Homo-oligomer: A and B are copies of this chain.
Amino acid sequence: MEKVKPRTLSGFMELLPDRQQQMEKIQELLRRTYSLYGFTPLDTPVIEASEVLLAKAGGETEKQIYRFSKGDTDLSLRFDLTVPLAKYVAANYARLAFPFRRFQIGKVYRGERAQRGRFREFYQADIDIIGDGALDIMNEAEIPSIIYRTFTSLGLTRFKIRVNNRKILNGFYALLGLEECAADIMHTIDKLDKIGAEKCRALLLEGGVAETKADEIMRFITFSGTSAEKLAFLDSYKGKNEVFDAGLGELGAVCAYLPQFGVPEENFEIDLTIARGLDYYTGTVYETTLTDHPEIGSVCSGGRYDNLAEYYTDKKLPGVGISIGLTRLFFVLEEQGMLSDDIVTAPCDALIIPMTEQLGEAVKTATLLRQSGIRTQLYSEDKKFKAKMSYADKIGVPFVVFIGDDELSKGVLKIKDMRSGEQTELSPDAAAKHIKTAVDERNNGAVIKE
């Protein structure tokens, strides 16, 4: 028969089993953390009516959409999890309680030009809190705590949660009489990290900003110090612009409860350069960077917005949300060698290799181990001993359990720790306990190492 080449499309991540185990562990930890903060899981369709999905979209995004017809229905694959959330909240408004807190970890689709590290199908892990008409600032204040717990649960400690407030920026530029070109200025400042202060200032001047104002802007955005010092610095602008004052009040509230939320000072920073796009966000904005890998950019970003679902409903639905681009993050972690091989990535914790014809005891042992929560495989293929052991090696199983006539007569199991090579004979119950303890210990380790 003519064979078809079994290929996977470029831009689509498909992992080998050990890597997939690590990805699953990360997703499990995200689900657990988001749940701890009272977010409820949602699962919306991958396919939506184009008219619904593209109510807002335009420009670059629309070009990337996977759009097609089935029968006479115009369909599109979701390109983010925010539009489906807006649809969901608008459609189920009367049945939801607000504030509505949801998380969703799901695949989204963008037909971008394929290149290394860019994906056409990728996971986003989003949380959002949606208010009905209003949403208290405490929801914004809680977000750094969620980011902190999320990344520490994955094993990271060297990261910085950077926070700013769009009202402070808008107010500041209004103060300088630069409302008109605020968007351009923010666009320039966004490049600060890459091009440096000198170049940034030069670009501002080129853009028509007067020298004194450019200096004021540079002084403002590059002011350095602790959060308290930055808040004090910002306080010196207070009383001149209402929008600025509102933003400062919000930023103060976000900083006020960080200790009680358990966020250490060293993982948090007020960063006046962050703007996060120009339209959507209206208050607090967040970025998260890995201290040792600034080149990756932000790994968790988001902010406060005023109108989640204006294309579907007249209801005012303000919200705050953050998103992790999980597939890209995973790709980068793998590239950097930051995925820990210490957690168990084998399909099973124990591989039972029976050394007798009669398999009754081996099956009983498999059942016992499984009842103890040990992921167990019974190896029953008709192979030479060496082939069986090389299978154990290849899957990377932590323990092999031998059951032969000798063990049967003594009522014990012979277990081999595949890392140390050590073999011990234990009663079935003791063996189960031993394996479970060793495996749990390894799995309690972090999935990401720094």
Contacts and interface: CB of A to CB of B under 8 A. Distances in A.
A348 to B, nearest CB: 4
Nearest to A45: B12
Interface in A69-96: 69-71, 73, 75, 86-88, 90-92, 95-96
Copy number in the complex reads 2
Contact of A20 (B42, B348, B359, B395): B42
Chain B CB within 10 Å — which of A75, A363, A373 has the most?
A: A363
A8 B87 contact: yes
Contact of A8 (B12, B37, B48): B48
A332 to B, nearest CB: 18
A209 to B, nearest CB: 34
Contacts of A6: 52, 86-88, 90-91, 309, 312-313
Contacts of A145: 367
Interface residues of A, number: 106
A15 B40 CA distance: 12
Interface in A60-117: 66-71, 73, 75, 86-88, 90-92, 95-99, 101-102, 107, 109, 111
Contacts of A86: 6
A14 interface: yes
B260 A364 contact: yes
A41 B21 contact: yes
Interface string A124-141: 000000010011101100
A405 to B, nearest CB: 18
A275 B264 CA distance: 63
Contacts of A38: 347-348, 351, 375-377
Interface in A119-170: 120-121, 131, 134-136, 138-139, 142, 145, 149
16 contacts: A5-B52, A6-B313, A8-B45, A8-B48, A14-B44, A16-B92, A17-B40, A36-B373, A38-B351, A38-B377, A67-B68, A97-B395, A99-B381, A134-B381, A138-B359, A260-B363
